Amino acid sequence: MNEFSVAERDNTVITFEQHTLLQQKRYPGASGSFAWLLSGLTLATKIIQAKVRRAGLTDVLGEAGATNVQGENQQKLDVFANNVLLHYLGLRDSVGILASEENEEPFVLKQSADAKYIVIFDPLDGSSNIDVNVSVGTTFSILRRPNDPYERDDAVDLLQPGYKQVAAGYVLYGSSTMLVYSAGDGVHGFTLDPAVGAYVLSHENIRMPAQGKWYSVNEAHLDTFPAAYQAFVGGLRGGALGKRYASRYIGSMVADVHRTLLKGGVFLYPPTADNPQGKLRLMYEANPIAFLIEQAGGKALCGRERVLDIRPDSVHQRTAIVCGGTREMEYFERCLAESE
């Protein structure tokens, strides 16, 4: 019997740090630098959540007066969250490249052999909802680059398809703050205990139901969706899967996906007249979500293609996404086949 299992039995609290260290013990030779990288992420998101929690009390609501690379108005909290993540992740020796929704160009920080990770993130997702006290989130995707600095090509190393993610997840600043994470070994949820200041394992090995009862989509754009997507939503509503689905959509992807992951159903942002390529950004929104959904037993597609198979051309490229339980996704694939 090893010491950790005794400690776990005697003490019901397992923190994110303990959990990741235990997972790493399965890989002999792991240096601990990945766990140290993750501690940068947990520290930054705790600082962000503290700011979000006090948002109505301090002068952090509203627009910052600038637009980001996507042409969207930056909120003050977008800027704050971005700076915090850049700072604390940038301090980690193992982080070589950082790319954010809020910065046009990625930051190439280090070329030492240790700097073998790339972190791509959306510092605050759903930020247009902040002023009205709706849940927001942070999404992140972690990639490897070659150990040997001479084998590196920063542009190529950054633009890897999502199936190569070594880890990905999100933090939801909701009624509680929750970190949902996968390193390719199942999906685990950790709730921030504000009394202790630690992310504590609360949802071990999340499996999403094969079928749920909700679809989550901005239905205002329905008449501009491609035919298969219209048929899919219409079918769910009309009882094609044996029940009439209801809708849930808040417009904060992390919150909408979190409900879908835990309760089942489907979340989608199809191509629309305004956003023919879809609206969500592949590398820091769709890829982490697709990774989690697949790890939890669901599927994530862009049309016929797996989101995780898309080869990116640019760090800010957009994609359509449909992700959910296996029954809903089988039905989506049937709608695609029938629309051809």
Q: How far is the CB of 272 from ligand AHG (least distance, A)?
A: 8
- State how far the Cα of 212 lies from the Cα of 297, in Å rounded to an integer: 13
Q: Does 256 bind Mn ion (CB under 5 A)?
A: no
Q: How far is the CB of 212 from Mn ion (least distance, A)?
A: 23
Q: Does 125 bind Mn ion (CB under 5 A)?
A: yes
Q: What angle do CA 331, 224, 258 make, to 5 degrees?
A: 55
Residue found under tokens 């627009």: 63
Q: How far is the CB of 127 from ligand AHG (least distance, A)?
A: 4
Q: What does 103 bind: Mn ion, ligand AHG, none (CB cut-off 5 to 8 Å by kind)?
A: none
- State how far the Cα of 13 lies from the Cα of 9, in Å rounded to an integer: 9
3-state secondary structure of 27: coil
The closest residue (CB) to Mn ion is 125
Q: Which of residues 102-141 bind ligand AHG (CB under 6 A)?
A: 122, 125-128
Q: Does 15 bind ligand AHG (CB under 6 A)?
A: no
- State how far the Cα of 139 lies from the Cα of 101, in Å rounded to an integer: 10
Q: What does 279 bind: Mn ion, ligand AHG, none (CB cut-off 5 to 8 Å by kind)?
A: ligand AHG
Q: Which of residues 242-271 bind ligand AHG (CB under 6 A)?
A: 251-253
197: left (phi over 0), alpha (psi -120 to 50) or beta: left
Q: How far is the CB of 268 from ligand AHG (least distance, A)?
A: 10
For the stretch 59-62, contacts whose Cβ atoms lie closer than 8 Å and that sit 24 or more positions apart, written own/partner, are 61/130, 61/131, 62/131
3-state secondary structure of 284: helix
Q: Which of residues 48-87 bind ligand AHG (CB under 6 A)?
A: 72
- State how far the Cα of 144 lies from the Cα of 338, in Å rounded to an integer: 39
Q: What does 72 bind: ligand AHG, Mn ion, none (CB cut-off 5 to 8 Å by kind)?
A: ligand AHG
322: CB partners within 8 A, 6+ apart? 229, 232, 266, 267, 268, 270, 300, 301, 302, 329, 332
> Which residue from 122, 256, 294, 328 is in contact with Mn ion, where contact means CB under 5 A?
122
Q: Which is nearer to ligand AHG, 94 or 252 (CB)?
A: 252
Q: Which is nearer to ligand AHG, 256 or 328 (CB)?
A: 256
Q: How far is the CB of 94 from Mn ion (least distance, A)?
A: 24
Which range of residues in 35-43, 93-101, 108-116, 320-328 is near Mn ion by CB under 5 A? 93-101
Residue of 66, 308, 2 whose CA lies nearest to 165: 308
Q: Enumerate binding residues for Mn ion (CB under 5 A).
A: 101, 122, 124-125
Q: Enumerate binding residues for ligand AHG (CB under 6 A).
A: 72, 101, 122, 125-128, 218, 251-253, 279
